[in-house]
A and B are shown apart, each in its own frame.
Chain A
C-alpha cells in the first residue's frame, strides 16, 4: 500500500475532472451570481431582505478579517467531525452486532426503527437542556442524525458479503478477527462509504439545528445573530460557509473512496465530479 494519499489521489481525481466541467462549473456559478445581482437590483428589495452579491462579499471579508468567521466555522466543523466520528463508530459497531446476531436484531430492531420516527429536530431542545452547555449537545445531535443511515448501511454491507467467500474463509480455518479484517471489512466498505456520504451531509444539518436551539458559537449561531440584527448579509455568509463545509466533507469521503476502493470499477451515478473510468 502506498501512503501518498491524499496528494496523489487528489491530483488523479482532478485529472479525471472532465474538461467540460472545468468550464461549466465556473460558468454556472457566474450565471448564478449574475441572476442574483439582477434580482437584487431590479426587484427593489431592501438589503436586509435580499443583499446583493457585492454586499455579501464585503461582509464575508469583514467576517474573515475580524476572525469571527473562522472561529465560528471551526466550532461547527468540530461538532460535525466529532459527531460524525462518534455516530459512525457506534452505528457501525452496533450494525456489526445486529448482522452477527439475529437474536439481538430481533430484540433491538423495533426500537431502532421507532427511533427513526422521532424527528431529531423536535428533540433537539431537550438534548440542549439535558446536556451541559458547550459542544456536547450539538455533537450528540450530529451523532444521532448520522446513526441510522450508517447502521443500515453497515447491515446491508455485511449481508452483501458473498457466501462463497465466507465458505472460503471457513475452509482456511480463519478465526473471527481474520474473517472480519480480511473479508467483512473490505467487502462491506463500498456500502459503508455510501452511508458515510449521507452521514457527512446530515451531520452538518445536525450541528446547525443544535446551534439554532441554543448556542453562543458556531455558524448556526451566526445565522441567528445575523437575523436578529437584520444583518442579512451575515446570514448569507454563514449559509455559504455551511454549503462549502458540506461539500468539502463530501469531497473528503470521495477521496477516501478513491483511495480505499481503487479495486472497484467506478460505474455509477455516485460521483458528481469524477469522471467514469
Chain B
C-alpha cells in the first residue's frame, strides 16, 4: 500500500463526465456521467469491455478531446488541451518508422525546442531505464512488439511527465512478453513515483498493477465498480496465485459478467 503523505492529494477529478459522438443513427452515447477522482501517485486501472469508451476516457484526460458535458479537472483546472506534464502510451507503439529508437525517444524534447546535444544525457537515462541500451540506432521495423512499447514508454516519460496515460499498451503482445512488460511498467512507475492510468481489458493485469480499479459498464459507460486493491507492494509475479488475488479477480469477474 502506498501510504506517503501526498497519497491523498487529488490530481484529477471528473464530475458528471459525458461524451457523445455523432453515430450512424443519430448520436452515440459513449460516456455517461462518470464521476471519480485520482490521487497523486496512484496507479489506476480502467477495466471494461471493448467499445465501452475506455480510449475516449483516456483522450479526455489527455486533453485530446473535450467532454460533451460535465467537467474534468487536472490539479483543479479544466483540461482543455494537452498538458505538458502528461505522457501517453498508445495501444500500438505508435513510433515514427523513419526515426531510430534514439530519435523517437528524443521527439518530445525536440518539439519542446531542446537540442540533441542538450538531450544526450536525458535520453541515455531513459534508454537505460527501459533497458534498450545498444538499440539506439535501430529503426522501429527491426524492433519486437515489446521493445517498441519500451520505446513508447520512454518517449512518454522523457518530458518528466507526472501523469502517465496508457491505453491497452500490452494488448498486442504475446502472453510472456506481456507479463514481463507489466513488471517493467511497475518498476518504472515505482522509480518515478508518478500517477498512472492504465486502460486494459485484462483483469489480472489490472489487479497486478493497480492501487485501484474502475470497472466500466458496456456503452454508454458508467462506473460500475470502484475497487481498492489492497495488495502489498512491491508486487511479485507469484501474487497471481494467492487467495487475495483470486478473491479480487472473482469480484471483478462477477461485476463484469453481471452487465453483459
Contacts and interface: CB of A to CB of B under 8 A. Distances in A.
Interface of A: 162, 164-165, 167-174, 178, 182-183, 186-187, 189, 261, 263-265
Interface in B75-90: 81-82, 84, 86, 88, 90
B111 interface: yes
Contacts of B62: 167, 171
A148 to B, nearest CB: 27
B229 interface: no
Contact of B94 (A164, A170, A186): A164
Given A169-B111, A171-B64, A182-B107, A263 B88 contact: no
B192 to A, nearest CB: 18
B81 A173 contact: yes
B111 A263 contact: no
Interface of B is mostly: loop
Given A182-B110, A263-B139, A172 B94 contact: no
Contact of B64 (A170, A189, A261): A170
A151 B112 CA distance: 32
B86 A263 contact: no
A185 to B, nearest CB: 10
Interface string B43-68: 00000000000000001001110000
B96 A165 contact: yes
B70 interface: no
B98 interface: yes
B110 A168 contact: no
Pairs of residues from A and B, 7 with the lowest C-beta to C-beta distance, nearest first: A263-B98, A171-B82, A172-B111, A164-B94, A186-B98, A174-B111, A171-B88
Given A171-B62, A171-B63, A178-B111, 13 more contacts: A164-B94, A165-B96, A168-B90, A172-B82, A172-B112, A182-B96, A182-B107, A186-B98, A187-B98, A263-B98, A263-B141, A264-B97, A265-B141
Contact of B96 (A178, A186, A261): A186
22 contacts: A162-B94, A164-B90, A164-B94, A165-B96, A167-B59, A167-B88, A167-B90, A169-B111, A170-B82, A171-B63, A172-B82, A172-B107, A172-B159, A173-B81, A173-B84, A178-B111, A182-B107, A183-B96, A186-B96, A186-B98, A187-B98, A263-B99
B92 A164 contact: yes
Nearest to A183: B96
A165 B82 CA distance: 14
Contacts of A170: 64, 82
Contacts of B110: 182
B108 interface: yes
Contacts of A171: 62-64, 82, 86, 88
Contact of A263 (B81, B82, B84, B97): B97
Given A173-B82, A174-B111, A186-B98, A168 B139 contact: no
B88 A168 contact: yes
Contacts of A173: 81-82, 84, 111
A263 B103 CA distance: 13
A213 B75 CA distance: 72
A183 B97 CA distance: 10
A188 to B, nearest CB: 11
Contacts of A189: 98
A276 to B, nearest CB: 15
A100 B165 CA distance: 29
Nearest to B59: A167
A187 B112 CA distance: 21
Contacts of A186: 96, 98
A189 B96 CA distance: 13
Contacts of B63: 171
B85 to A, nearest CB: 11
Contacts of A187: 96, 98
A165 B84 CA distance: 17
A170 to B, nearest CB: 6
Q: Considering residues A167, A172, A173, A264, which has the most beta carbons from chain B within 10 angstroms of its beta carbon?
A: A172
B111 A167 contact: no
B141 A167 contact: no
Contacts of A174: 111
A173 to B, nearest CB: 6
B162 to A, nearest CB: 14
B111 A182 contact: yes
